[in-house]
Structure 1
Amino acid sequence: MKTKKPQSSSYFSIGQLRLDHWNELKNECSFLARGKPDSKLAKQHKARIEELLDHLKTVERYYTFPGSGKVEKLRHMLTRDEHTALAHNVAVTTRQLVGDAYRSHPLSALEEESEYGGVQEIRELGNGTAKNYFEVLFVEDMTPIDETALHEKLQDLRDPNEQFVYDVLVQHSFQDALIALIFNHNIQAVVIRYAPPFLSENISPLIKPYIQNVLNIDLEERSEADLGPLLGELVKQFRPELDTYYVTDTSLNDLKDSTLQTFQRIYYRREDLQELHLGIIRGIRERYATPFFSALKEYSQKPTGVFHAMPISRGNSVFKSRWIKDFGDFYGRNMFLAETSSTTGGLDSLLQPTGSLKKAQEMASAAYGSQHTYFVTNGTSTANKIVLQALVEPEDLVLIDRDCHKSHHYGMVLAGSYPVYLDSYPIEKYSMYGAVPLASIKEKLQLLKAAGQLHKVKMLLLTNCSFDGLVYNVERVMEEILAIKPDMIFLWDEAWFAYAGFTYVFKQRTGMYTAKKLYNKYRTEKYHLSYAEHVKKLGKGEDPKMPDPDKVRIRVYSTQSTHKTLSSFRQGSMIHIWDEDFRKKSENTFLEAYMTHTSTSPNYQMLASLDVGRRQVQFEGYEMVEKSIEMAMVLRAKVNDDPQLNKYFDVLTIKDFIPDQYRQSGLGEYYDKEKGWNRMEEAWEMDEFMLDPTKITLFIGRTGVDGDTFKNKYLMDQFNIQINKTSRNTVLLMTNIGTTRGSVAYLTNALLTIARQLDEEFESLNNREMEIAQGKIWSMTEDVPPLPDFSHFHDSFRALPGVPGGNLREAYFLAYDEENFDYISLPDCKKAVDEGQELVASSFVIPYPPGFPVLVPGQVVSPEIIDFMLALDVKEIHGFRADLGLRIFTKTILNRKIKTIEINANGKKETKKAIEVAEA
């Protein structure tokens, strides 16, 4: 038997490596227990077990269960040749670890003794409800005796009736504490006791690939007195959801204000440990609270008389019915008991919250890192319209990604602002768009500046991340745009990125995190000095490349579909705001827009789900998001490595989506069959664009089946596998916090089955049929239609002469009169355009998915747009009926519009002349 040498590059995450090692250890111990103890094979198994135990000890030191102590006990069993007991113990431990039994089952039932003496506390309440288990990280260079004493004292303080139960994990250095935070998702609170040393005594090479963020931190020259507060700040950077506590002997007068603001509580050594214990439990209880959900549950149990609207309330109109009782049976009584239009009794009003809803939104704001958070009950489509209507006025210019969701374009119509469309780079081979290069945005801004219209530019609106997973370098975009226009408002549509704030790597590219970071940066003396030096070095007439700290304003809005990637009922969304001028400039208009678009009868179940979803991400977000990324990576590796799958399918890589010039790190793929996993931290920090790994685009060109057919005929009809988006030759798969290993295995099996079906189908074809099939494959892989850029607005709908913006609102409402447009079929449109005629769209034309317009009202129809529409395989196209054709403005109305513009222009000239004469 060859000894298997574990390689870190074989695993994407430390969790994968850890579970794989425990499973292999279980198998090796089982072989050893069944075989002859003195055989050559037994010696090989024993050698491998020794090696696995060495590696596991380096990992388990960062976990309470099984922990490094358990690994040592297993090593002693191996040394004493207790092979049967060893195999049993490893099997039980692995089962508990894989099934998470140690977090939710009574440990006494598992006959697991605590490392610190006695049977650990039963993790159930008296009513049989499982307690909520978590771990507390203590950071102090204490002796083993002191560590044991700490466990015993905290054990004595625990109330058996308390809902929350915790174990203690002690780390002895600054580095080890941060590694534990990255590895161990059970940690919910951190206690920093005194001044821990900086360097770890021993970091195994096995784990180094997973802790680059920690190894890059160099604080060796900082005094030990500073390390405690610095560690508290870094905890908030890596895991901001955690409660932090500081135990010190430093007098209050000597504690810095920043230290006081970093920690929930600061304790002194002479204070009783009970206060710390009670503080930990109180912190968990406060985060666990769900003000609105709890109020709704309490309301549902009150005996009431219903004399307001909604016969369905309390279920009276349902459960008494002979005809719709099955409806009530399906949903259950609680759904109807909690259904009400009441805004009293603790339930609060969404439009003017003062109680439980207000508190729920404040807690969401803290969780997501915003200054203000608002719940939205009609999806992010409505959230986008609210923000646009709140911030932009008629004739304001908005730089907007042409490929953004249709709700933004309709929001422009409502607000009356003028869109300046930005084109994303095309990914023609896969019939999709990328993202908008920063250079293109700056070019448009400079063009507007040269035209004297920069003051009219109000907002930059971009999709982050896109449907296909392209993510902007938010910090770079904001810094370089603010250098040109320091008062720019940013709207980041993060509908598909709500989970990003709960893992450190992704969080750096979110609107809220970046807003706070830049706000703090521009207020520092260091930045003021850097800016002054930068200005001194500028040439004559050269514009600064850095934002002016005296002029810059941080005004950032993010809209997120909680229901898309986190736990919420459908249409549950949030608006997050980090706007230093919100109260002064935008609060009133925002509330008016919120009133305009928000129902006076919001769905209370949806609001409760947003409240509960916030609780979940604060306790489980880090763990669940990391696992969803891991599931995506597992699927990538399986498709790449399996010869049956990669015969027909490819998982598109970073370099397939992002051209070289936008990948400064040079990272081209997450996984390589020969080299294993590439680390992505550096690329997420520095590249202009990155690819969200949870968005897995499967290239299916070699199947000869288009994306829509593949989705419906194969995935849906055969396996009930639901996906959101296809292109001509791709299907988009997504993992999320609800994705399980079983679901990934099911999808993999489905793809294998489809691959075998394709084998059988191709083998059965005759020569002519094979020619036809190869023609389809060639069409799907080589004969790809070009993707159209935004053409331009017709002269009659230009916002301002020489300015690349359009009067979308006017064109939209002009089409309300059916005499102003005609229907023209696509073939006739193509013929007319080829002959040089100018056709102007009178409506939005939006293929769905992905949901962005290829035509907007007032836009000139280009030949590329016609070719693109003729090649579309999407069946649902909003604003277009194939039997009628495109809605095109008549020449009569366009001529009339141009004439009106000329008359108005002449009138303005005459008026201006008259004023000048009068002034003279």
Structure 2
Amino acid sequence: MNPATHVLVVSADEDWRTEVVQGLNQAAGRLDNSLGLMAVGCPCGDATVEAVLATSPTQADLQVVVIDHGPRGASSTGAPAVRTAQRIIEARPELSLYMVLEDDADKLLVEQLASDAVDGYFFRGEHDYNGWFRIIAAEVAEKAETPFYDALKAYVAQAKDSWHTPGHGGGDSFKGSPWVGDFYDFVGEQMLRADLSVSVPELDSLLHPMGVIAQSQKLAAKAFGARKTYFATNGTSTANKVIFQTLLAPGDKLLLDRNCHKSVHHGVILSGARPVYLDSSVNRHYGIFGPVPKATLAAAIEAHPDAKVLILTSCTYDGLRYDLKPIIAMAHAAGIKVIIDEAWFGHARFHPELRPTALECGADYATQSTHKILSAFSQASMVHVNDPGFDEHLFRENFNMHASTSPQYNLIASLDVARKQAVMEGYRLLDRSLKFAHELREKINATGAFRVLELDDLLPDEVKGDGIRLDPTKLTIDISQSGYSADELRDELIGRYNIQVEKNTHNTLTLLLTIGTTRSKVSRLFDAMLRLAKEKRAPRAYARVPEAPRFTELACLPRDAFYEAGERLPLLDEQGQPNAALTGRVCCDQIVPYPPGIPVLVPGQVIEANIVAYLVRLLQTQKSIDLHGLALVDGEMHLRVLSEAERRALPSR
């Protein structure tokens, strides 16, 4: 399928606009036009922005906007042209923008107002539309480049004999095997041929990129609005740890959202940092953890001026997004670096309904799981850096400490391709997903048995004035009127209708819409929900998940507790009751009920009786929840805690 590339020519001068559109389209007919460039016209002003945000067949493939500044001395037309440029930049930063000027005096004005986002200039007096066409075509071709993927394809096509790792030799070990030959057919020849070794120099090195990987990362940085971007092939989990080790030395203080992903808490252990845990807000009715209240963040920043780092998760698993700009401004005013875990929000840059992104709000670092909503393979993630004091050498050393010396090249290629797709058609695909989300909200609500929760339903009371927004691509469905338990409903959807949901709480299901969501999938989902609703089961009362205890205190640094041998004490005493012997002891491990994946205990934390009671109740009443971090000893669950001798020997927090 050949691409279509539309160029929007914007001018208040209708005659000039018509001439340029005709000139560019005539050039497209004469010259090589493999990218399918076609010019269309639009008057300046509000109509331009409407055209840029349209998803009609004409504008769905818009890639370039050419804005006429106006004829000589036309300051009255020049100012609106620059304002139009600014509005386009704000709405669609991935578009290429060219300004048409009368002379260099106009250029000075444009550079003052919009220079960072202007990709180039043309001059009104020149009518070399062949030249304009070539420049625009080259700009689009550069955006559409996939340096690493292209190099990988080219190398595989050369069919080199493999005398290096991996051992399957491009898939040859599977061929003809009566035992594993089907794996070759299942995975595919090209995937196996592309599973190569670092022995291939033309494919560059992820650990020290100087060639095609470096070029691909540079294109990604431009696409996502970063100074630097790094590809990670072992997930955002590792990306978070790398940043922690780069910014934090043992004993350095950081502020962190207690409901951060467990990789953040692992990063605390590895870096030896001194954490200040901030309790998140909680929607107790639905068992959903929300953002940390803005007042809590402000108080923590004021109380800990010596903190080096603040890390928050935005958006959350359930789609709740902080109003980041004022929070980041507060942190920066105190000299605190800001990391935003955007694992679930890597798509936001490419649709105005989802922006601003963390980087656009001033974050120093953002980590993104490019595989979650965009088209990269699982484990493929990116680290985006805007820190003005960034130490690239130190970051690289920490990155290489965690990265494999045998990276999977198919993952790197998928990041290259996912970036290209996001830039070239992300807006159209996300707009489709957002329309599907709106449609599903209406249809699911109309069943009478299910209801999609809105922002006000999801927000805990303590954050309702904090300017929090919702990512509409994440649908949380209240199932309490359906008569099903969450586990039953999830099993019905997968067993009867072949539909796998993202997650559930005791009375909700979560659906994730991505750029891979199709009309057929939407129809099948709605049909399944409607059929289940027609069974008209009586509404049921749901036993609430026990409320997670608030954070207690740290007796020592998490790293110090984690690396001690400790001793294992049972969660239950001999009478089957919560073990009172655990009260006052110091936990060595991270204890995480999953879902939702938020630690109840972290290494170094003092255990209180209500925490033990909570864990016991979860084990006894919530069969669908796993408790990560407990030790199984002789068939009983145990907690690893510091021995009294270890605790006395450790320095206090």
Is the shorter-chain TM-score for this pair beyond 0.5, marking a shared fold? yes
1:345 deviation in Å?
4.7
Question: Which letter does structure 2 place at the counterpart of 1:595?
Answer: N
Q: Which amino acid aligns with 1:224?
A: T
1:648-687 to 2 correspondences below 5 Å: 648-659=449-460, 662-664=463-465, 687=466
Is 1:880 matched with 2:630? Answer: yes
Question: In structure 2, what is the equivalent of residue 547 of structure 1?
Answer: none
CA change 1:827–1:358 in 2 (3 A) is farther
Match of 1:792 among 553, 562, 573: 553
SS in 1 for 2:506: coil
What secondary structure sits across from 1:223 in the alignment? helix
Q: Which residue of 2 aligns with 1:504?
A: 352
Taking a change above 3 Å as real, the CA distance of residues 830 and 504 of structure 1, as seen in their structure-2 partners, is: farther
CA distance in 2, matches of 1:826, 1:614: 54
Q: Tell me the equivalent position of 2:569.
A: 822
Q: Contact 2:571/2:578 (CA < 8 Å) preserved in 1?
A: no
1:486-534 C-alpha deviation (Å, 9 max, x unpaired):
x2111100000000111123221x221112xxxxxxxxxxxxxxxxxxx
> Which of 121, 128, 132 is equivalent to 1:266?
121
Q: Structure 1 pair 578/280, CA: closer, same or farther in 2 (3 Å)?
A: same
Letter aligned with residue 136 of structure 1: V
Q: Cα distance 1:704–1:840, how it changes in 2: closer, same or farther (>3 A)?
A: farther
User: Which residue of structure 1 lines up, in the alignment, with residue 167 of structure 2?
Assistant: 311
The answer to whether the aligner puts 1:350 opposite 2:211 as a matched pair is no
Q: Is structure 2 residue 279 aligned with structure 1 residue 409?
A: no
| Structure 1: distance between partners of 2:283 and 2:211 | 49
- Are 2:404 and 1:599 aligned? yes
Return the offset for 1:746: 0.8
Q: Deviations over 1:668-690 (max 9, x none)?
A: xxxxxxxxxxxxxxxxxxx5312
Q: 1:100 corresponds to which residue? A: none
| Distance across 1 between alignment mates of 2:599 and 2:149 | 38
Q: In the aligned structure 1, how far is the partner of 2:283 from the partner of 2:513?
A: 23
Q: Which amino acid aligns with 1:848?
A: Y
- How do residues 485-504 of structure 1 correspond to structure 2 at under 5 angstroms? 485=334, 487-504=335-352
Q: Determine the C-alpha separation between the residues in 1 that align with 2:648 and 2:181.
A: 64
Which residue of structure 1 aligns with residue 372 of structure 2? Answer: 564
Identical counterparts, % of pairs: 33
Matches of 2:347 and 2:81 in 1, distance apart? 29
2:61 aligns with 186
Name the aligned partner's letter for residue 479 of structure 1: A
- Correspondent of 1:845 among 591, 596, 602: 591
Give the C-alpha shift of residue 858 in structure 1: 2.6
Candidates 353, 361, 367, aligned match of 1:514: 361
- Residue equivalent to 2:560: 810
**Partner Cα distance (1:886, 1:704) in 2:** 36
How far apart in 2 are the matches of 1:885 and 1:862?
Answer: 17
Q: How does 1:379-778 map to 2 (within 5 A)?
A: 379-448=235-304, 454-455=305-306, 457-483=307-333, 485=334, 487-508=335-356, 510-515=357-362, 556-582=364-390, 586-640=391-445, 642=446, 645-646=447-448, 648-659=449-460, 662-664=463-465, 687-711=466-490, 713-759=491-537, 777-778=540-541
1:865 matched to 2:643? The reply is no
Q: How does 1:209-358 map to 2 (within 5 A)?
A: 223-251=76-104, 255-256=108-109, 257-258=111-112, 261-271=116-126, 272-358=128-214
Whole-angstrom CA distance in 1 between matches of 2:575 and 2:243: 40
**Pairwise mapping of residues 885-900 of structure 1 onto structure 2 (< 5 A)?**
885-889=637-641, 893-894=643-644, 896-897=645-646, 899-900=648-649
Name the aligned partner's letter for residue 572 of structure 1.
A
Structure 1 range deviating more: 878-887 or 243-252:
878-887
C-alpha distance in structure 2 between counterparts of 1:503 and 1:599, whole Å: 34
Q: Secondary structure at the match of 1:461?
A: strand
Q: 1:354 to 1:707 in 2, by over 3 A?
A: same
Offset of residue 411 of structure 1: 1.0
2:250 aligns to what SS in structure 1? Answer: coil
Residue in structure 2 matched with residue 125 of structure 1 by the alignment = none
Residue 328 of structure 1 deviates from its aligned partner by 1.5
Q: What letter matches 1:577 in structure 2?
A: V
TM-score where L is the length of structure 2: 0.91
For the residues of structure 1 that align with 2:228 and 2:262, how far apart are their CA atoms? 25
CA distance in 1, matches of 2:174, 2:162: 14
Deviation at 1:826, TM superposition (A): 8.2
Alignment CA distance shift 1:591-1:828 (3 Å)? farther
Q: What is the SS of the residue equivalent to 2:426? A: helix
Contact 1:700 1:731 survives alignment (8 Å): yes
User: Are residues 344 and 430 of structure 1, via their aligned partners in 2, closer, same or farther at CA, if it must alter by over 3 Å?
Assistant: same
Q: 2:365·2:387 contact (CA, 8 Å) conserved in 1?
A: yes
Tell me if the contact between 1:724 and 1:849 (Cα under 8 Å) persists in the aligned partners.
no
1:743-790, Cα deviation, whole Å (9 max, x unpaired): 11111111122223354xx5xxxxxxxxxxx7xx2234xx56333222
TM score, norm. by length of structure 1: 0.66
Q: Does the 8 A contact of 2:100 with 2:124 survive in 1?
A: yes
Q: Is contact 1:140-1:193 (8 Å) kept? A: yes
- Bigger Cα displacement from structure 2, 714-723 vs 609-618: 714-723
Partners in 2 of 1:446 and 1:225 — Cα distance? 46
1:312 Cα offset (Å) = 2.1
- 1:791–1:365 distance in 2 versus 1, CA, 3 Å: same
After superposition, the Cα gap between the structure-2 partners of 1:570 and 1:659, relative to the gap in structure 1 and judged at 3 Å, is: closer
Tell me how far 1:189 sits from its aligned partner: 0.5
Bigger radius of gyration among the two: 1
The RMSD of aligned alpha carbons is 2.6
Check the 8 A contact 2:44/2:80 in 1, yes or no: no
* Distance (Å, rounded) in 2 between the aligned partners of 1:301 and 1:898: 61
| Farther-moved stretch of structure 1 (873-882 vs 597-606) | 873-882
- CA change 1:845–1:827 in 2 (3 A) is farther
The answer to whether the Cα contact below 8 Å between 1:401 and 1:424 also exists between their aligned partners in 2 is: yes
If each structure's helix is expressed as a fraction of its own residues, which one has the higher value?
1
Going from structure 1 to structure 2, the CA distance change for 1:189 and 1:877 (only over 3 Å counts) comes to same
Secondary structure at 2:414's aligned position in 1?
helix
Amino acid at match of 2:379: Q
Return the letter of the residue paired with 1:857.
Answer: P
Equivalent pair of 1:707/1:729 in contact (CA under 8 Å):
yes
- For 2:552, the aligned partner's letter is S
CA gap of 1:700–1:335, structure 2 versus 1, over 3 A, is same
Contact 1:821 1:842 in 2 (8 A): no
Query: 1-side partners of 2:631 and 2:568: how far apart?
Result: 15
Q: Secondary structure at the match of 2:384?
A: strand
Q: Residues 241-261 of structure 1, C-alpha deviation per residue, up to 9 Å, x if partnerless?
A: 111112221235863444655
Specify the SS of the correspondent of 1:189.
strand
Corresponding letter in the other structure for 1:812? F
- Three-state SS of the structure 1 residue aligned to 2:364 is strand
Unpaired runs of at least 5, structure 2: none
Q: Deviations over 1:593-652 (max 9, x none)?
A: 100000010000010000000000001111112221221111111122x2xx22x32212
Cα distance in 1 between the residues matched to 2:494 and 2:82: 54
| Number of residue pairs matched by the alignment | 637
Instruction: Describe the shift of the 1:147–1:245 C-alpha distance in structure 2 as closer, same or farther (beyond 3 A).
Output: closer
1:466 Cα offset (Å): 0.6
Partner Cα separation in structure 1 for residue 170 and residue 163 of structure 2: 11
- Could you tell me how far 1:234 is from its partner in structure 2? 2.7
**Corresponding residue SS for 2:548:** coil
**What's the offset of the Cα at 1:829?**
8.3
* Contact residue 588 and residue 641 of structure 2 kept, 8 A: yes
| 2:230 matched residue in structure 1 | 374
Q: Aligned partners of 2:268, 2:562: CA distance in 1, in Å?
A: 10
- Identify the residue that residue 64 of structure 1 maps to in structure 2: none
Q: Structure 1 pair 726/325, CA: closer, same or farther in 2 (3 Å)?
A: same
Q: Distance in 2 between matches of 1:822 and 1:659?
A: 36
Kindly provide the amino acid, as one letter, of the partner of residue 154 in structure 1: L
What SS class does the counterpart of residue 197 from structure 2 fall into? coil
In 2, the alpha carbon distance for the partners of 1:836 and 1:302 equals: 64
Shift of residue 148, structure 1, vs aligned partner: 5.2
Higher relative contact order (CA closer than 8 Å, sequence separation 6+): 2
